Structure 1
Amino acid sequence: MSPAPAPAPTPADRRERLAALLEQTSPATRARQAQATVLPVLGPLAPLLPHGDLAKGAITEVTDPGLLLALAAGPATADDYAWTAAVGLPDLGLAAADSYGIDLRRLLVADHPGDHYAEVVTALAAACPVILAESRRVPGFWRVLAGRTCRAHSVLRGASHRVNCCTCSQLGLASAGSVWG
């Protein structure tokens, strides 16, 4: 014996389904979904980035400490509850971070994590949307962390003396020089 056929949808059911599909595909819904996958940056930095913002889960290598802080300031100032972490950067200027708008009360600092560098960065990636980290050469670590940050929706910014020291970086930014006016 075969099961009874499903009843035909009523006009009200069809209207409800159509309304739901229109909502799912509307420009406003697509814009909200796109916002959920990016972190904002300060206005003057937007033209430097592929889509004017930072993709969550991306590893971005930055050679200049001032540029590193400026990039971190966008997400830090856009969300009153977001925490930022700095790992292995003992020379990071806290006064400079404050002047960029990073709330020092929501900045976790691990200046010298020692042999536990990978564990510290990994633990903070689960809690902080922005991590400023020294680009250490830890075999396989950056690739594993890239996978974890994509799942945790965190952004790691590796500070380095050169761009692309890590093969899993999605973006590299270097300053050509600085001028004091």
Structure 2
Amino acid sequence: MHKSVYIVGGILVICVIAIALFFGFGRSSGMMGPYAANSNITSAQTSGNAQSTKAASGNNAAANLDAVPKASSEGTTQTVTTTLDGGQYSPIVVQKGVPLRWTITAKNGDINSCNNTMVINDYAVNQKLNVGENVIEFTPNSSGTITYSCWMGMVTSTITVVDDINNITGQDISEYSNNAGSAAGNGCSMCQNGGQ
């Protein structure tokens, strides 16, 4: 009888600990529950995000375009290179109807358990990322903004597809500017803590 009481008590203690961990009790952000996963963003990250969004949404669309990773033509294809900076994906601007060769460079420490697989649902891309150069190829076939993400859908960014990469309009940049903050603004506690 005494042995079964200890067993039941031990199981209850384990259950209570598991529930506390799942619901995030004890997190320093003050949030509790399953939605607290995104609450571990530091004030430095928040102010950096605000600066990125402010830079992307300035009044001079041409000046903003210089900071935007945009594709360049190389024969019958277009190429763009970005980095997996701080574990976040970069937004890009590409041209409609031209095959794209996108190189994403990742350094040691940039890849974690969240962002290690990138998904572009609109083009059936499911790309495992490794340290070094990662090449993704597809043809963007319609103008507009496409969201891409990590395999969990928590780290996101955008691909803005324009009709003519050499003649980008203010409307094109406006759409990019409205979505530029999503690359750095979204994330999960796994990514913010290096996947640990």
Which range, TM-score by smaller chain?
Answer: 0.3 to 0.5
Return the structure number with greater helix share: 1
TM-score, length-normalised on structure 2?
0.33
Give the number of the structure whose residues are more often strand, by fraction: 2
Give me the TM-score of the superposition, normalised by structure 1: 0.34
